[in-house]
Amino acid sequence: MRTQAQDRLRRGHRCGALVLACAWFLIACSASAQPPDGDPFPLPAGVVSGEWALHGRGFAEQRYSPLEQIHTGNVAQLGLAWTFDDFVVRGRTHRGTQATPLMRDGVLYFTGPWSVVYAVDAESGAVRWIHDPQVDGAWARHACCDAVNRGVALWKDMVYVATLDGWLVALDARTGERRWRVDTLVDRSRSYTITGAPRLAGGNIVIGNGGAEMGVRGYVSAYDAASGRLAWRFYTVPGAGPDEHPEVGTARKSWSPRARWDLGGGGTVWDSMTYDPELDLLYVGVGNGGPWPVWVRNAGERPDNLFLSSILAIEARSGRLAWYYQTTPADSWDYTATQNMILADLRIGGRLRKVLMQAPKNGFFYVLDRASGELLAAEKYTQVTWAERIDRQTGRPVVSESALYAAAPRTVWPSTAGGHNWQPMAYSPQRGWVYIPTLEMPMTFSTQQGAVPYLPGANNVGALAAPPPERVQRSVLKAWDPVAGRIVWQSAPLPWWGGGVLTTAGGLVLQGSADGVLTAYDAASGRVLKKIETGLAIMAPPMSYEIAGRQYIAVLAGLGGAMNGRFHAGFAALEYRNHERLFVFALGGRAVDLPPRLDKVPQRPLATGLPADADTVALGRQRYLQFCARCHAPRSVPNGYPDLWNLPPALYAAFDSIVLGGAMSYAGMAGFADVLTPQDTLAIRAFIVADQQEMRRNPSAKPPEQGTGH
């Protein structure tokens, strides 16, 4: 039976002499002669097995290291070899780290906040160079989830970084000097941002962007790696104008003619992409719709809305679609399919299949034939209530009517954070298992009442989402058998928002967490073998490399991203001063020096002379929720941004120069004069002071909940 995954828009397979020519080209130009044991995917030319030169180490993005000097028998001796702390920080806000360091030719390349690139000696940490692309600080206003960055790409003698404000930059790998720079944004009046790492695919550097919540239209672009010339651009959703390529026309048939094109449509490619050099296919994970509810973005209708929340297989050199699979048709819960994708060869039903595996936000683990898009398996890896199951004949979910919140609020599993978010999972070819950093929490959804206007620089999601009062909120590392479709083992509950994962030939699985602990597990049993306390949240995935005969494990630390808006129970940032840091560990290393503990901030006096009438306070609350709450937590709830509920009097006096005039734009606090008036900012201050007074009258009152983003 023909499934949606097999409904190919054009046939991407080649035959005869062309296949032989392409295979020869890939072997000669893209592959090393001998892939490491257990890894059928070649590394780029010139890369040796002890290096980590691609985002997931190899093209398959398995995040598996063949190094085994550090193993289950001696990992207890793992200690700190050296650290790097010299990150660019703007103002008082530490933005955290999410990048995977790359290592080639004895140099580690990684990024920090504001898209700054660092090159350091892989043995000592000595700085080779630092490149600050001077991101426009005001652009942080356009970011749903902070000014973070997930890393660079390497190709030949160049390093590539994509900046928060939309530029793709090529740097000289030896000196850090800029070779070229191109603007990747099609419309700078909209809130596009880039936080993801670029990928190498077929001689091109490929990058997407974020902003689906903020009112943008998604696309992915490929640029010639040598020159920066645009090779192709693929739009993931239709728009108000003419169709740019045939696939857009096909997608348009699955949208309402009355769709809210003014709200962008979403479908951004904000994180995962994976390239198969043998098939010359680039696999692209597509994000959620904008706004979230399908009935809002389509004027009361519920069409599928291709290519939202889908996996696309795109021919890397031509930019044409080979196949697609939509994980969540008519997505209304922010269930992106942007989570990392892993390529492997698995024996399924007695046949060796070339597969793609993904655990997207929606809670199902998918195994697809990566050549054809055929669905091979789809099972729940966490609690799921939005759908009963995936129909194997059609490839479509059997959606539960109880998850549709158009008429009334509904509590649904998983939350908007998903069962798995951007933190990468990993695959061990030794065991054939995938290790998933899983998030477990429900969310209560309701549709925004009244009209949903487009608000520049603000969330335009058309829905409200918050954890229910009797919440479950935890992180769990799960070992998953993709052939059997079941959990093999899982860790004890961790604090919310666990980090990415590394597996090694030494039989290890390593993962950090928000409590600042790096844990080494036995990959076979899940037994904890080593815990290293760092005092800094570890969201980024560890990686491993070898130099001069010594194996190292490196991981970036520091809380930021979506979690900077509110610190949850167990976060290291509730106890220690949060900042950015690179940890590099090796056998025989020393203990980690913990950061200084937090100082208690005294309660400052209330501002005076502000209006206290109900209408002004109500207006202030509305404006605060529209434009401030995305970053600033209410009622002095601990978070990474300045506490608006305990500002010094001088900052109250300078409120308009900051909020309207942009006096702190360089540090990421942009001006809002285009959407706020002096009357609005006066009302915001009046609301804050009125709420401070209520807090002092009723100290036990709980602050309002905010939704969880990515």
Domain at 692, CATH number: 1.10.760.10
Do residues 555 and 496 lie in contact, with contact meaning Cβ atoms separated by under 8 Å? no
pLDDT digits (tens, 9 = 90+) for 668-690: 999 999 999 999 999 999 999 99
Please indicate, yes or no, if residue 599 is contained in any of the structural domains: no
Q: Is 334 a catalytic residue?
A: yes
Q: What is the pLDDT of residue 13?
A: 33
Say how far apart CA 116 and CA 135 lie, in whole Å: 9
**What is the residue type of 23?**
A
Say how far apart CA 422 and CA 561 lie, in whole Å: 11
pLDDT digits (tens, 9 = 90+) for 486-498: 999 999 999 999 9
Total domain count, the chain: 2
- For every residue of 296-321, which 3-state class applies, written as one string? HHCCCCCCCCCCCCEEEEEECCCCCE
Q: What is the pLDDT of residue 63?
A: 98
Same domain, 649 and 522: no
Same domain, 163 and 203: yes
Question: What residue ranges in 470-536 does DSSP mark as E strands?
Answer: 474-481, 486-490, 501-504, 508-512, 517-522, 528-533
Please indicate, yes or no, if residue 204 is contained in any of the structural domains: yes
Do residues 218 and 266 lie in contact, with contact meaning Cβ atoms separated by under 8 Å? yes
Q: What is the pLDDT of residue 17?
A: 31
Confidence of residue 323 (pLDDT cuts 50, 70, 90): very high
Same domain, 170 and 301: yes
Name the average pLDDT for the chain. 92
Same domain, 11 and 141: yes
Exposed, middle or buried, 187 (CB in 10 Å: 0-12/13-18/19+)? exposed
Rounded to an integer, the average pLDDT of 4-27 is: 35
Q: What is the pLDDT of residue 703?
A: 63
Rounded to an integer, the average pLDDT of 618-644 is: 92
What percent of the chain clears pLDDT 90, i.e. is strictly above it? 86
pLDDT of 21 over the 80 cut:
no
Please indicate, yes or no, if residue 444 is contained in any of the structural domains: yes
Please indicate, yes or no, if residue 606 is contained in any of the structural domains: no
Please indicate, yes or no, if residue 542 is contained in any of the structural domains: yes
pLDDT of 28 over the 70 cut:
no
Same domain, 128 and 217: yes
**Selected residue with higher pLDDT from 33 and 565:** 565
CA-closest candidate to residue 72, choices 433, 675, 530: 530
Rounded to an integer, the average pLDDT of 284-290 is: 98
pLDDT of 151 over the 70 cut:
yes
Please indicate, yes or no, if residue 609 is contained in any of the structural domains: no
CA-closest candidate to residue 142, choices 268, 310, 299: 268
| C-alpha to C-alpha distances, 399 to 36, 327, 394, 434, 562, nearest whole angstrom | 42, 12, 13, 26, 28
Q: What is the pLDDT of residue 36?
A: 39
State phi, psi for 617 to the nearest 5 degrees. -65, -40
Do residues 488 and 524 lie in contact, with contact meaning Cβ atoms separated by under 8 Å? no
For the record, the structure tokens of 66 come out as: 């063949």
Domain at 474, CATH number: 2.140.10.10
pLDDT of 1 over the 50 cut:
no
Same domain, 91 and 210: yes
What are the residues whose beta carbons fall under 8 Å from the beta carbon of 669, sequence distance 6 or more? 91, 137, 140, 658, 659, 662
Last residue of a domain, one of 570, 587, 604: 587
CA-closest candidate to residue 543, choices 574, 609, 499: 499
Residue 177 in 3-state DSSP?
coil
Q: How far is CA 559 from the centre of its chain?
A: 14
Which residues are registered as beta bridge partners of 439? 475
Please indicate, yes or no, if residue 593 is contained in any of the structural domains: no
Exposed, middle or buried, 351 (CB in 10 Å: 0-12/13-18/19+)? exposed
Say how far apart CA 174 and CA 260 lie, in whole Å: 48
DSSP string across 212-242: GGGT-B-EEEEEETTT--EEEEEESS--SS-
pLDDT of 134 over the 80 cut:
yes
pLDDT digits (tens, 9 = 90+) for 417-442: 999 999 999 999 999 999 999 999 99
Rounded to an integer, the average pLDDT of 625-650 is: 90
Same domain, 326 and 198: yes
- For every residue of 45-79, which 3-state class applies, written as one string? CCCCCCCECECCECCCCCCEECCCCCCCCCHHHEE
Q: Pairing mode, if any, of strands 501-504 and 486-490?
A: unpaired
Last residue of a domain, one of 551, 568, 587: 587
Q: What is the pLDDT of residue 18?
A: 31
**Selected residue with higher pLDDT from 603 and 45:** 603
Q: What is the pLDDT of residue 457?
A: 85
Residue 672 in 3-state DSSP?
coil
Same domain, 526 and 400: yes
pLDDT of 174 over the 60 cut:
yes
Do residues 150 and 98 lie in contact, with contact meaning Cβ atoms separated by under 8 Å? yes
Q: What is the residue range of 637's domain?
A: 614-697
For the record, the structure tokens of 665 come out as: 């734009």
Please indicate, yes or no, if residue 702 is contained in any of the structural domains: no
Say how far apart CA 530 and CA 452 lie, in whole Å: 51
For the record, the structure tokens of 495 come out as: 């604090």
pLDDT digits (tens, 9 = 90+) for 356-409: 999 999 999 999 999 999 999 999 999 999 999 999 999 999 999 999 999 999
Last residue of a domain, one of 568, 587, 606: 587
Rounded to an integer, the average pLDDT of 689-702 is: 85
Rounded to an integer, the average pLDDT of 632-652 is: 90
Same domain, 523 and 618: no
Q: What is the pLDDT of residue 424?
A: 98
Q: What is the pLDDT of residue 220?
A: 98
Same domain, 662 and 515: no
Kindly calculate the radius of gyration of the chain based on its CA atoms and give it in whole angstroms: 24
Q: What is the pLDDT of residue 194?
A: 98
Confidence of residue 702 (pLDDT cuts 50, 70, 90): low
Cis peptide, bond prior to residue 307, ω within 30 of zero: yes
Q: What is the pLDDT of residue 115?
A: 98
Confidence of residue 40 (pLDDT cuts 50, 70, 90): low
- For the ranges 335-349, 445-459, 479-493, which has the lowest average pLDDT? 445-459
Q: What is the pLDDT of residue 48?
A: 86
Q: Which of 271, 304, 334, 369 is catalytic?
A: 334
Do residues 339 and 360 lie in contact, with contact meaning Cβ atoms separated by under 8 Å? yes
Same domain, 427 and 380: yes
Same domain, 108 and 179: yes
